[in-house]
Amino acid sequence: MSNMLSVRRDALRRAVVNDTQELRRAVGQLRSVVRQRADVPGHIARRPYPWLGGAFLVGMWLGSRAAN
């Protein structure tokens, strides 16, 4: 009986270790995706003209609001 409990306990420990490793890998992947998505300077460097146009339009909109 005691041997069976020991085997089951060891199996549960291995399962917890495997789940912990899998969770760490998933969190690492999530971090890299979030870093990539939140890389605003990188997005601007890859496609500067749409950002420049958007900044110009926002500036015009804010300037027209201040003039009124």
Q: What is the pLDDT of residues 20-43, one digit of tens each?
A: 999 999 999 999 999 988 998 998
Do both 33 and 61 map to the same domain? no
Domain shared by 63 and 45, yes or no = yes
Whether residue 49 sits in one domain with residue 33: no
Domain containing 8 equals 1-37
Q: Are residues 3 and 25 in the same domain?
A: yes
Q: What is the pTM of this model?
A: 0.57
In whole angstroms, what is the distance from residue 4 CA to residue 26 CA?
33
Residues 27 and 59 in one domain: no
Q: Are residues 53 and 30 in the same domain?
A: no
Q: How many residues does the chain have?
A: 68
Q: What is the DSSP letter of 47?
A: S
Element (H, E) at 41: helix 40-46
Tens-place pLDDT, residues 4-19: 888 999 999 999 999 9
Q: What would you measure as the largest C-alpha separation in the chain, in angstroms? A: 85
How many Å apart are CA 61 and CA 43, to the nearest integer? 23
Considering the domain architecture, whether residues 13 and 45 belong to the same structural domain is answered as no
Asked if 9 and 33 sit in the same domain, the reply is yes
Query: What does the block give as tokens for 67?
Result: 């003039």
